[in-house]
Homo-oligomer: A and B are copies of this chain.
Amino acid sequence: MIVVGSGARHLEDEIRKLGGEVLDVEIKKFPDGEKYVRVFGSGDEALVVQSTFKPQDENLIELLLIGDALRERGFENLSAIVPYLAYSRQDRVTREGEPVSVRAIMRALGLYYDELYVFDLHNPETLRFFPGKAVNLSPARAIAEYFGEKLGDGIILAPDKGARERARVVAEKLGLEYSHFEKRRISPTEVQMWPVDIDVKGKNVLIVDDIISTGGTMVRAANLLREMGAEKIFVAATHGVFAEGAIERVSKAVDELAVTNTIPTPVSRISIVPDIVSL
């Protein structure tokens, strides 16, 4: 039994096509701006799919309201599937006086949901803030499938050391080599970067990250690979949190940019729906 929130409408057709039983739900706004939700049907267990991209706070509150409605209808076991979790990058106090915002969100979701499934969480350690069972799903299968043929015997690269594990998993699924970019600040305004211990010359390359925001790093990495003689250059990310103009900037610098559909964007061509339906 699957309930689809406003932030997952773009996934609904595919969920149905892959055999998910979707409950009807009415979601609207009152004239004063308050959300109204109503769920039809009953049962014991439900998966609520709600991605929490912009307007993040509305999508989050809606997820709580759906939870309340389902509990009221007698559902006993509720799972929240949140392909993109808002506030996941506010995962630590970097300056005194800041909240750990993702903690507040996880705790609030814990009021209604027994289980939480997210995709490629920015900092997986923050899963501990969710009081129930919390699972970080990987989009590696979907990304590997989408780019496998295009890559041929290419290389997978992470844009920085922290993203290396993601590159490793995608590479493993395709039986390819992988590495990451090292960065070194060489002046207050200049950072040097280079792919570590790998020869990209004549190779197709896929750079994989969790989030693309401004796309600045991706553009620089792509330009560098081009100079180093790479063949085709592809960029993939799980979450397309694109700042104004970022899609165009990255697209111009590479042969193809594609992200998953945790957030609907013009380049969300990689689907994580099979991973949801198989839950």
Contact = CB atoms under 8 A, between A and B. Distances in A.
A51 to B, nearest CB: 13
Nearest to A60: B61
A93 interface: yes
Contacts of A104: 61, 64-65, 67-68, 111-112
Interface residues of A, number: 50
Contacts of A47: none
Contacts of A40: 97
Interface stretch (A28-36, A191-199, A269-277): A28-36
A55 interface: yes
Contacts of A89: 34
Contact of A34 (B36, B90, B95, B108): B90
A56 B30 CA distance: 12
A36 B93 contact: no
Contact of A69 (B41, B57, B87, B99): B99
Nearest to A109: B108
A38 B112 contact: no
When all copies of this chain in the complex are counted, the total is 2
Interface in A65-118: 65-69, 72-73, 86-87, 89-90, 93, 95-101, 103-105, 107-108, 111-112
A173 interface: no
A213 interface: yes
Interface string A1-19: 0000000000000000000
Contacts of A66: 99
A208 B139 CA distance: 57
A73 B55 contact: no
Nearest to A89: B34
B60 A33 contact: no
12 contacts: A32-B213, A32-B243, A33-B56, A35-B101, A38-B95, A40-B97, A41-B97, A61-B61, A68-B99, A73-B97, A108-B108, A111-B111
Query: Which 3 pairs across A and B sit closest by C-beta, in order of nearness?
Result: A68-B99, A69-B99, A33-B54
